[in-house]
Chain A
Amino acid sequence: METDIHKVEEHEAHSHGYGVYVLVFFGLLALTAVTVSVAGINLGSLTLTVALLIATIKTCLVANYFMHVKFESPIFKVFIAVCIVIFATMIGLTFFDLIFRTP
Protein backbone atom coordinates (compact mmCIF):
# COMPACT_ATOMS: atom_id res chain seq x y z
CA MET A 1 0.00 0.00 0.00
CA GLU A 2 2.75 2.38 0.93
CA THR A 3 4.53 1.77 -2.33
CA ASP A 4 1.32 2.60 -4.19
CA ILE A 5 1.12 5.96 -2.52
CA HIS A 6 4.78 6.52 -3.27
CA LYS A 7 4.18 5.71 -6.95
CA VAL A 8 1.31 8.17 -7.20
CA GLU A 9 3.40 10.89 -5.63
CA GLU A 10 6.27 10.20 -7.98
CA HIS A 11 3.90 10.34 -10.94
CA GLU A 12 2.54 13.70 -9.83
CA ALA A 13 6.00 15.09 -9.24
CA HIS A 14 7.28 14.09 -12.67
CA SER A 15 4.31 14.67 -14.91
CA HIS A 16 3.65 18.16 -13.65
CA GLY A 17 6.89 19.93 -14.42
CA TYR A 18 7.97 21.64 -17.64
CA GLY A 19 11.61 21.45 -16.54
CA VAL A 20 12.08 17.68 -16.82
CA TYR A 21 10.83 17.62 -20.41
CA VAL A 22 12.99 20.55 -21.49
CA LEU A 23 15.97 18.79 -19.91
CA VAL A 24 15.15 15.57 -21.82
CA PHE A 25 14.88 17.64 -25.01
CA PHE A 26 18.38 19.04 -24.49
CA GLY A 27 19.62 15.53 -23.80
CA LEU A 28 18.12 14.40 -27.12
CA LEU A 29 19.77 17.33 -28.93
CA ALA A 30 23.14 16.43 -27.39
CA LEU A 31 22.75 12.80 -28.50
CA THR A 32 21.86 13.98 -32.02
CA ALA A 33 25.04 16.08 -32.06
CA VAL A 34 27.04 13.04 -30.92
CA THR A 35 25.56 10.71 -33.54
CA VAL A 36 26.18 13.23 -36.36
CA SER A 37 29.78 13.92 -35.32
CA VAL A 38 30.57 10.25 -34.70
CA ALA A 39 29.32 9.44 -38.21
CA GLY A 40 32.18 11.60 -39.56
CA ILE A 41 34.77 9.40 -37.87
CA ASN A 42 35.63 6.12 -39.57
CA LEU A 43 34.87 3.43 -37.04
CA GLY A 44 34.59 0.67 -39.60
CA SER A 45 32.13 -2.02 -38.62
CA LEU A 46 31.41 -0.23 -35.34
CA THR A 47 29.71 2.68 -37.15
CA LEU A 48 26.35 0.90 -37.38
CA THR A 49 26.54 -0.38 -33.80
CA VAL A 50 27.27 3.08 -32.40
CA ALA A 51 24.51 4.69 -34.50
CA LEU A 52 21.96 2.11 -33.35
CA LEU A 53 23.10 2.36 -29.74
CA ILE A 54 22.60 6.14 -29.71
CA ALA A 55 19.22 5.77 -31.47
CA THR A 56 18.17 3.25 -28.81
CA ILE A 57 19.17 5.59 -25.98
CA LYS A 58 17.21 8.40 -27.65
CA THR A 59 14.19 6.08 -28.02
CA CYS A 60 14.37 5.17 -24.32
CA LEU A 61 14.35 8.87 -23.43
CA VAL A 62 11.38 9.65 -25.69
CA ALA A 63 9.41 6.59 -24.52
CA ASN A 64 10.12 6.95 -20.81
CA TYR A 65 9.59 10.68 -20.50
CA PHE A 66 7.62 12.04 -23.49
CA MET A 67 5.41 8.94 -23.67
CA HIS A 68 5.32 8.64 -19.86
CA VAL A 69 6.18 4.91 -19.94
CA LYS A 70 8.37 5.34 -16.86
CA PHE A 71 5.30 6.33 -14.84
CA GLU A 72 2.86 3.86 -16.42
CA SER A 73 1.55 0.72 -14.73
CA PRO A 74 3.62 -2.47 -15.31
CA ILE A 75 1.17 -3.87 -17.88
CA PHE A 76 2.34 -1.28 -20.46
CA LYS A 77 5.94 -2.31 -19.89
CA VAL A 78 4.97 -5.94 -20.45
CA PHE A 79 3.19 -4.96 -23.69
CA ILE A 80 6.26 -3.13 -24.92
CA ALA A 81 8.58 -5.98 -23.96
CA VAL A 82 6.40 -8.44 -25.92
CA CYS A 83 6.46 -6.15 -28.95
CA ILE A 84 10.27 -5.84 -28.79
CA VAL A 85 10.71 -9.61 -28.39
CA ILE A 86 8.49 -10.28 -31.43
CA PHE A 87 10.43 -7.78 -33.52
CA ALA A 88 13.81 -9.12 -32.32
CA THR A 89 12.71 -12.66 -33.17
CA MET A 90 11.67 -11.58 -36.67
CA ILE A 91 15.01 -9.87 -37.27
CA GLY A 92 16.96 -12.72 -35.68
CA LEU A 93 15.30 -15.42 -37.80
CA THR A 94 15.72 -13.35 -40.98
CA PHE A 95 19.44 -12.99 -40.37
CA PHE A 96 19.76 -16.62 -39.35
CA ASP A 97 18.53 -17.46 -42.83
CA LEU A 98 20.55 -14.76 -44.58
CA ILE A 99 23.92 -15.53 -42.99
CA PHE A 100 23.80 -19.27 -43.58
CA ARG A 101 22.36 -19.10 -47.05
CA THR A 102 24.67 -20.43 -49.77
CA PRO A 103 24.59 -18.33 -52.93
Chain B
Amino acid sequence: MSQDSEIAIHHQHEHEAHAHVGEHVHRDDMGSKMGMWLFLFTEVLLFGGMFILYAAYRFTYSDAYKVAAEHLDTYIGTINTIILLASSCAVVLGIVALQRKNKGLCLGFLWFTQLCGAAFMVNKYFEWTHKIELGIYPKGPALADMSEGEVVFFGLYYVMTGLHGLHIIVGMIFIGTVMVMIQKNKLTHDNYQKLENAGLYWHLVDIIWIFLFPLFYLIH
Protein backbone atom coordinates (compact mmCIF):
# COMPACT_ATOMS: atom_id res chain seq x y z
CA MET B 1 0.00 0.00 0.00
CA SER B 2 1.40 3.38 -0.96
CA GLN B 3 1.94 6.10 1.52
CA ASP B 4 -0.66 8.34 -0.10
CA SER B 5 -3.47 5.84 0.21
CA GLU B 6 -2.49 5.18 3.80
CA ILE B 7 -2.80 8.87 4.51
CA ALA B 8 -6.15 8.96 2.71
CA ILE B 9 -7.45 6.10 4.84
CA HIS B 10 -6.10 7.79 7.92
CA HIS B 11 -8.04 10.94 7.01
CA GLN B 12 -11.14 8.92 6.35
CA HIS B 13 -10.91 7.34 9.79
CA GLU B 14 -10.44 10.76 11.25
CA HIS B 15 -13.61 11.96 9.59
CA GLU B 16 -15.53 8.94 10.72
CA ALA B 17 -14.29 9.39 14.27
CA HIS B 18 -15.43 12.99 14.21
CA ALA B 19 -18.76 11.99 12.74
CA HIS B 20 -19.37 9.58 15.60
CA VAL B 21 -18.66 12.26 18.14
CA GLY B 22 -20.93 14.55 16.19
CA GLU B 23 -18.44 17.39 16.05
CA HIS B 24 -17.75 17.40 12.38
CA VAL B 25 -19.37 15.46 9.53
CA HIS B 26 -17.45 15.59 6.30
CA ARG B 27 -19.71 16.92 3.61
CA ASP B 28 -18.67 18.72 0.47
CA ASP B 29 -21.70 20.53 -0.91
CA MET B 30 -19.61 22.54 -3.35
CA GLY B 31 -18.02 19.38 -4.77
CA SER B 32 -21.41 17.71 -5.00
CA LYS B 33 -22.83 20.67 -6.89
CA MET B 34 -19.83 20.79 -9.25
CA GLY B 35 -20.18 17.09 -9.97
CA MET B 36 -23.84 17.62 -10.82
CA TRP B 37 -23.03 20.51 -13.16
CA LEU B 38 -20.34 18.45 -14.94
CA PHE B 39 -22.92 15.71 -15.44
CA LEU B 40 -25.37 18.28 -16.77
CA PHE B 41 -22.80 19.35 -19.38
CA THR B 42 -22.59 15.79 -20.69
CA GLU B 43 -26.40 15.90 -20.97
CA VAL B 44 -26.18 19.18 -22.86
CA LEU B 45 -23.75 17.61 -25.33
CA LEU B 46 -25.94 14.49 -25.65
CA PHE B 47 -28.97 16.57 -26.63
CA GLY B 48 -26.67 19.05 -28.39
CA GLY B 49 -25.63 16.38 -30.86
CA MET B 50 -29.25 15.81 -31.74
CA PHE B 51 -29.96 19.52 -32.00
CA ILE B 52 -27.10 19.74 -34.51
CA LEU B 53 -28.63 16.89 -36.49
CA TYR B 54 -31.97 18.70 -36.35
CA ALA B 55 -30.37 21.95 -37.54
CA ALA B 56 -28.41 20.33 -40.36
CA TYR B 57 -31.50 18.54 -41.71
CA ARG B 58 -33.64 21.64 -41.26
CA PHE B 59 -31.13 23.45 -43.45
CA THR B 60 -31.47 20.71 -46.08
CA TYR B 61 -35.24 20.07 -45.84
CA SER B 62 -36.67 23.38 -44.61
CA ASP B 63 -39.92 23.07 -46.62
CA ALA B 64 -40.54 19.45 -45.63
CA TYR B 65 -40.10 20.40 -41.94
CA LYS B 66 -42.90 22.98 -42.30
CA VAL B 67 -45.25 20.45 -43.90
CA ALA B 68 -44.47 17.77 -41.30
CA ALA B 69 -44.81 20.16 -38.35
CA GLU B 70 -48.46 20.74 -39.37
CA HIS B 71 -49.17 17.32 -37.86
CA LEU B 72 -48.04 18.44 -34.40
CA ASP B 73 -50.54 19.87 -31.95
CA THR B 74 -49.39 23.33 -30.82
CA TYR B 75 -52.09 23.28 -28.14
CA ILE B 76 -50.69 20.17 -26.37
CA GLY B 77 -47.16 21.50 -26.82
CA THR B 78 -48.07 24.79 -25.14
CA ILE B 79 -49.87 23.05 -22.26
CA ASN B 80 -46.83 20.83 -21.71
CA THR B 81 -44.55 23.87 -21.72
CA ILE B 82 -46.64 25.54 -19.02
CA ILE B 83 -46.73 22.30 -17.00
CA LEU B 84 -42.94 21.99 -17.05
CA LEU B 85 -42.36 25.65 -16.17
CA ALA B 86 -44.74 25.33 -13.21
CA SER B 87 -43.02 22.13 -12.07
CA SER B 88 -39.60 23.81 -12.21
CA CYS B 89 -40.89 26.73 -10.18
CA ALA B 90 -42.32 24.29 -7.62
CA VAL B 91 -38.91 22.59 -7.14
CA VAL B 92 -37.18 25.87 -6.41
CA LEU B 93 -39.99 26.92 -4.05
CA GLY B 94 -39.55 23.54 -2.35
CA ILE B 95 -35.90 24.42 -1.67
CA VAL B 96 -36.94 27.72 -0.10
CA ALA B 97 -39.52 25.90 2.03
CA LEU B 98 -36.89 23.42 3.26
CA GLN B 99 -34.46 26.27 4.01
CA ARG B 100 -37.20 27.77 6.15
CA LYS B 101 -37.60 24.43 7.98
CA ASN B 102 -41.06 23.94 6.49
CA LYS B 103 -40.82 20.24 5.65
CA GLY B 104 -44.52 19.79 4.92
CA LEU B 105 -44.68 22.66 2.46
CA CYS B 106 -41.46 21.47 0.80
CA LEU B 107 -42.92 17.99 0.27
CA GLY B 108 -46.14 19.61 -0.97
CA PHE B 109 -44.24 21.53 -3.65
CA LEU B 110 -42.34 18.39 -4.65
CA TRP B 111 -45.58 16.41 -4.90
CA PHE B 112 -46.85 19.12 -7.22
CA THR B 113 -43.70 18.65 -9.34
CA GLN B 114 -44.34 14.90 -9.49
CA LEU B 115 -47.94 15.58 -10.54
CA CYS B 116 -46.73 17.91 -13.29
CA GLY B 117 -44.22 15.33 -14.51
CA ALA B 118 -46.97 12.69 -14.63
CA ALA B 119 -49.32 15.08 -16.45
CA PHE B 120 -46.60 15.83 -18.98
CA MET B 121 -46.10 12.13 -19.67
CA VAL B 122 -49.86 11.49 -19.97
CA ASN B 123 -50.10 14.27 -22.57
CA LYS B 124 -47.11 12.79 -24.35
CA TYR B 125 -48.80 9.37 -24.33
CA PHE B 126 -51.95 10.74 -25.98
CA GLU B 127 -49.87 12.70 -28.45
CA TRP B 128 -47.82 9.71 -29.52
CA THR B 129 -50.73 7.25 -29.66
CA HIS B 130 -52.67 9.72 -31.81
CA LYS B 131 -49.75 9.89 -34.26
CA ILE B 132 -49.35 6.15 -34.30
CA GLU B 133 -53.08 5.79 -35.04
CA LEU B 134 -52.58 8.11 -38.00
CA GLY B 135 -49.89 5.73 -39.22
CA ILE B 136 -46.96 7.99 -38.45
CA TYR B 137 -44.38 5.61 -37.07
CA PRO B 138 -41.32 3.85 -38.48
CA LYS B 139 -42.48 1.84 -41.51
CA GLY B 140 -46.03 3.10 -40.84
CA PRO B 141 -48.47 3.54 -43.77
CA ALA B 142 -48.64 7.35 -43.51
CA LEU B 143 -44.88 7.70 -43.38
CA ALA B 144 -44.50 5.68 -46.59
CA ASP B 145 -46.32 8.42 -48.54
CA MET B 146 -44.22 11.22 -47.09
CA SER B 147 -41.15 12.87 -48.55
CA GLU B 148 -37.67 12.13 -47.27
CA GLY B 149 -37.55 15.38 -45.29
CA GLU B 150 -40.82 14.66 -43.48
CA VAL B 151 -39.61 11.18 -42.54
CA VAL B 152 -36.44 12.73 -41.13
CA PHE B 153 -38.53 15.26 -39.19
CA PHE B 154 -40.62 12.56 -37.54
CA GLY B 155 -37.56 10.45 -36.86
CA LEU B 156 -36.01 13.36 -34.97
CA TYR B 157 -39.35 14.15 -33.32
CA TYR B 158 -39.69 10.64 -31.88
CA VAL B 159 -36.05 10.31 -30.81
CA MET B 160 -35.69 13.78 -29.27
CA THR B 161 -39.05 14.02 -27.49
CA GLY B 162 -38.67 10.33 -26.55
CA LEU B 163 -35.27 10.87 -24.96
CA HIS B 164 -36.62 13.99 -23.28
CA GLY B 165 -39.58 11.99 -21.93
CA LEU B 166 -37.14 9.42 -20.58
CA HIS B 167 -35.36 12.24 -18.76
CA ILE B 168 -38.67 13.35 -17.24
CA ILE B 169 -39.15 9.82 -15.85
CA VAL B 170 -35.58 9.77 -14.47
CA GLY B 171 -36.11 13.22 -12.98
CA MET B 172 -39.30 12.04 -11.28
CA ILE B 173 -37.43 9.06 -9.77
CA PHE B 174 -34.61 11.39 -8.67
CA ILE B 175 -37.04 13.83 -7.00
CA GLY B 176 -39.00 10.91 -5.52
CA THR B 177 -35.82 9.55 -3.90
CA VAL B 178 -35.02 12.98 -2.49
CA MET B 179 -38.59 13.25 -1.17
CA VAL B 180 -38.12 10.01 0.79
CA MET B 181 -34.89 11.42 2.25
CA ILE B 182 -36.65 14.61 3.29
CA GLN B 183 -39.47 12.57 4.81
CA LYS B 184 -36.91 10.63 6.86
CA ASN B 185 -35.20 13.89 7.91
CA LYS B 186 -32.01 12.88 6.11
CA LEU B 187 -32.18 16.18 4.27
CA THR B 188 -32.82 19.25 6.38
CA HIS B 189 -32.70 23.04 6.28
CA ASP B 190 -28.89 23.08 6.53
CA ASN B 191 -28.27 19.97 4.45
CA TYR B 192 -30.24 20.08 1.22
CA GLN B 193 -27.63 19.79 -1.55
CA LYS B 194 -29.21 16.56 -2.85
CA LEU B 195 -32.52 18.38 -3.28
CA GLU B 196 -30.70 21.15 -5.08
CA ASN B 197 -29.00 18.61 -7.39
CA ALA B 198 -32.34 16.98 -8.19
CA GLY B 199 -33.64 20.47 -8.91
CA LEU B 200 -30.70 21.23 -11.23
CA TYR B 201 -31.44 18.06 -13.20
CA TRP B 202 -35.13 18.91 -13.45
CA HIS B 203 -34.41 22.47 -14.60
CA LEU B 204 -32.05 21.21 -17.30
CA VAL B 205 -34.80 18.91 -18.59
CA ASP B 206 -37.07 21.96 -18.56
CA ILE B 207 -34.51 23.99 -20.56
CA ILE B 208 -34.25 21.24 -23.17
CA TRP B 209 -38.03 21.36 -23.58
CA ILE B 210 -37.85 25.17 -23.88
CA PHE B 211 -35.87 24.57 -27.09
CA LEU B 212 -37.71 21.46 -28.31
CA PHE B 213 -41.08 23.22 -28.13
CA PRO B 214 -40.51 26.05 -30.67
CA LEU B 215 -38.26 23.89 -32.88
CA PHE B 216 -40.89 21.16 -33.36
CA TYR B 217 -44.28 22.68 -32.59
CA LEU B 218 -43.97 26.27 -33.77
CA ILE B 219 -42.76 25.92 -37.36
CA HIS B 220 -45.22 27.47 -39.79
Contact = CB atoms under 8 A, between A and B. Distances in A.
Interface of A: 15-18, 21-22, 24-25, 28-29, 32, 35-36, 39-40, 42, 47, 51-52, 54-55, 58-59, 62-63, 65-68, 75-76, 79-80, 83, 86-87, 90-91, 94-95, 98-99
Interface of B: 33-34, 37-38, 41, 44-45, 48-49, 51-52, 55-56, 59-60, 74, 78, 81-82, 85-86, 88-89, 91-93, 95-96, 99-100, 196, 199-200, 203-204, 206-207, 210-211, 213-215, 218-220
A90 B52 contact: yes
| 5 smallest beta-carbon distances between A and B, as pairs | A39-B218, A51-B214, A25-B89, A83-B41, A66-B92
Given A21-B89, A39-B220, A86 B45 contact: yes
Nearest to B38: A79
A66 B214 contact: no
A55 to B, nearest CB: 5
A63 B78 CA distance: 21
22 contacts: A15-B95, A16-B96, A16-B99, A22-B89, A25-B85, A25-B86, A25-B89, A47-B219, A51-B215, A55-B210, A55-B214, A63-B203, A66-B89, A67-B200, A68-B196, A76-B34, A76-B37, A79-B41, A87-B45, A94-B52, A98-B56, A98-B60
Contacts of A75: 34
**Interface of A: prevailing SS:** helix
B88 A66 contact: yes
A40 B218 CA distance: 8
Nearest to B77: A36
A58 B214 CA distance: 12
B200 to A, nearest CB: 6
B75 to A, nearest CB: 10
A66 to B, nearest CB: 5
Contacts of B215: 51
A21 B55 contact: no
B138 to A, nearest CB: 25
Contacts of A65: 92
B218 A35 contact: yes
A32 B78 contact: yes
B192 to A, nearest CB: 11
Contacts of A90: 48-49, 52
Nearest to A40: B220
Nearest to B42: A83
A51 B219 CA distance: 9
